[in-house]
Each structure stands twice: as structure tokens, then as C-alpha cells.
Amino acid sequence: MMASPLKLLLLAAVLLAACASSAHAGEEEVHEVKTAGVEAPEAEPPAPEEHDTAGHESDSDEDSHEDDHDDDHSWSYDGEAGPEKWSHLGYSQCSGQRQSPINVVTNRVIRRHFKPIVFENFNQIPEEMNMTNNFHSAKATLDWERTPKISSGGLPGEYRVINFHFHWGRMDYRGSEHTIDGESYPLEMHIVSQNTKYDELSEALQHPDGLAVMGIMFEVSRANNRAMKRLEPALRRIVKGGASVSVDEPPRLQDLMPWNTNDFYRYDGSLTTPNCNEVVTWTIFLETVKITQKQLELFRALKKNPAPIGRNYRPPQARYGRSVYLSQPEEEEVETIGFAGKTAAVRSGAPALTAGPLAALLTSPLAMRLLF
């Protein structure tokens, strides 16, 4: 027997209340995480590595490879111009108390349920992508018909993507800038975005909410990374420091990222290169991306003239009491995770919807009584 109009009205009221409750559930919820992480020091020292023998050539451009100025050759990753000396080379912020990268100690993080990050235009192919060996990294600059942006997810604003670049080491056991319980990854990718409320990068670099950087860890695998394969020809052509080429078939940004973007660490930090501006909201995804050994070796082959770049990571910095958050929805809270689960969010600018509580309500005894 069909439900009467009165019963339908009652059911609609219940559904509206459930939706309101679900919206409140998406607000930030904070509590201490009880995990079995390894107790590690705040700044895990990297494994000893030999220094380059080519003097103190710069591995850098101007302020950092998080920004777009590439002409400062006063610092390096080794020797007298290495990370421990940056603050003595005129980069005073490099000795600040909000520096990056850090070692994430998993049994000290605070769980905070952020809303899903909204990714806008990450599924489009760039109109143009240039890959540059700027003496310290492989850096991609891009042009789009519609600029990719990120928002929500606890970010203090809306951010537009301006570039991405990579950090690596000489061996597979060391290369990422961020470490998890003292463990490193062979490669880390940074997608750098600028707050849309600032017109110029120079202005954004003066404000604590100026930049948002997403850190993506790579692991060696036999499985071919098709998105990275599109970058291979360009990487082979920028071995020499200063070389810059156009990427013939650029990948989509979302294809370079992990599928699960709902699980991430979050903290306030800095650029990882001079000037070390403390203007970055960091997002470090838990899920890794795979890369083949041959693809990884393409990064290690890049030179700063005449020697290889070798390694281009800054050691972890002390937290100085900063909070590190873990946003990780429970399985029952999210039915679809990652870009597949955020298709609606990408298009509408709203957080991804979760159907778990709503489905439970529709099949509850109360709903059955109201309907029949």
C-alpha cells in the first residue's frame, strides 16, 4: 500500500534532519590518535651520504623551487652552502620555528576529520607543460584553459596550481623530504598552489596562508606508471643543468596523484628551500604512487653541471611544538574514496557526498513504518 501524503511529509522531515546531521558530521572533529606508530625523534637525521665533489655549485634558483624565480645560485644541498648553513647565507627564515620538511611521528598526530579536498579541473590535460632542470630539481610549469584549483579539506582558502617538482636521493632508501616515523621514500613530488586572494606570488610569500603544497610519495614498483611515462622523453632531454623543454604529451595532474586523497597529514610549515618562507599549508597523502626503477633513474641522471644533482632533499626540521593532524575517514563514513568519489565535488565545488548514514536511515524500521 502506498504511503499517504502525511507520511511522506513526515519522512521528508526526517530526511532533512539526517542531512543536517551529516553536514555537521563533516565539520572538524579533533581527538588524539591511538596508533601503533614508532616513537621517533622530531627531526630524524638522514642517513649519511657522501658529498658531491664538484665544489659548491648551487642546486637552486631564486627563493625556492616552490616559487617561480630561478636565478639564485648561492646555496646548495652539500658542503659549506648546504642546508645547515642556509640561515648563515642571508636566509634568516631558514632557522625559524615553522620549517619544513618534518618527520611525521604517527603516534603523536592528532586526528581531525577534515572535509574532503575539492579538486577542480585536475582531470584536464594541460594546454602546455614545460619541464626544466633548474640545477636542483625537475620542475614543471603549466598552462591550462581552466586552471586547476583546490579548496575545502581544512585549507585556509582557495588555491590555484602554479607548478610541480620532485625531490630524490642517490639510493632508494632515501630521497623524500618528509619522512614517516623516520622512514623515507625514494621520490617525493610537490604540487605547489597559490592562494587566489593574492594576485602575485611575491605577495603570497608574505602571508602565512600564501601557499598550499601537496606532498606525494613514490615507491619503486615493477608496474609501469603511465602518467610518469609521459614525462620520460622530457626528462631525457633536460639532463644538462638549465635545460628546458616542452612536454609533448603532458599528463593530467590527477593521474600523477594517489587515488585516495581523503587520507592525509596536515601541518603548517615553510618552503623547503631558501628563502624558507613560513607560508605553506602542507598536505602529505598517506597513499603512495608507484614508479619503476628505470623512471626513478631518469631523475638521478639529471646534472647541475658537470656533476649529477645527486640528492636534493632538505633534512627533517624540528616541529617546535607544532600540531600535525591526520585526516582519515572511517570506512563506514566514505563509500567511495579518491577522485572517483569526488566527481560530483569537482564539478559542483561541494564536498563529496557520503551515503552511508542516509542509506541506513532509508532502510530503518522507522522509514518502513512511514512508507507502508
Q: For position 356, what pLDDT does the model report?
A: 39
Residue 310 is part of which domain span? 31-350
Cis peptide bond upstream of 101, omega within 30: yes
As beta bridge partners, residue 171 has 174
58: closest CA among 47, 46, 72, 44?
A: 72
136 is catalytic: yes
For residues 158 and 302, membership in a common domain is answered with yes
For residues 261 and 336, membership in a common domain is answered with yes
- Residue 317 and residue 41: Cα distance in Å, rounded? 10
For residues 368 and 240, membership in a common domain is answered with no
DSSP SS3 for 370: helix
For residues 15 and 69, membership in a common domain is answered with no
- Residue 366 and residue 11: Cα distance in Å, rounded? 9
pLDDT > 80? residue 47: no
Q: For position 3, what pLDDT does the model report?
A: 52
For residues 243 and 108, membership in a common domain is answered with yes
pLDDT, tens digit, 9 for 90 and up, residues 185-240 = 999 999 999 999 999 999 999 999 999 999 999 999 998 899 999 999 999 999 99
DSSP SS3 for 180: strand
For residues 146 and 246, membership in a common domain is answered with yes
- Residue 314 and residue 164: Cα distance in Å, rounded? 17
For residues 2 and 133, membership in a common domain is answered with no
pLDDT, tens digit, 9 for 90 and up, residues 283-318 = 999 999 999 999 999 999 999 988 999 999 999 999
CATH of the domain at 71: 3.10.200.10
pLDDT, tens digit, 9 for 90 and up, residues 136-145 = 999 999 999 9
Q: How many domains does the chain have?
A: 2
Strands 211-220 and 187-195, bridge-based pairing: antiparallel
Report which DSSP code applies to 179: E
230: closest CA among 213, 197, 253, 262?
A: 253
Full-model pTM: 0.76
Averaged over 157-185, what is the pLDDT?
97
- Residue 343 and residue 318: Cα distance in Å, rounded? 38
Give the mean pLDDT of the chain. 80
For residues 215 and 302, membership in a common domain is answered with yes
Q: For position 329, what pLDDT does the model report?
A: 86
**Residue 225 near residue 292 (C-beta atoms within 8 A):** yes
Averaged over 329-354, what is the pLDDT?
46
Q: Which of 65, 136, 178, 190 is catalytic?
A: 136
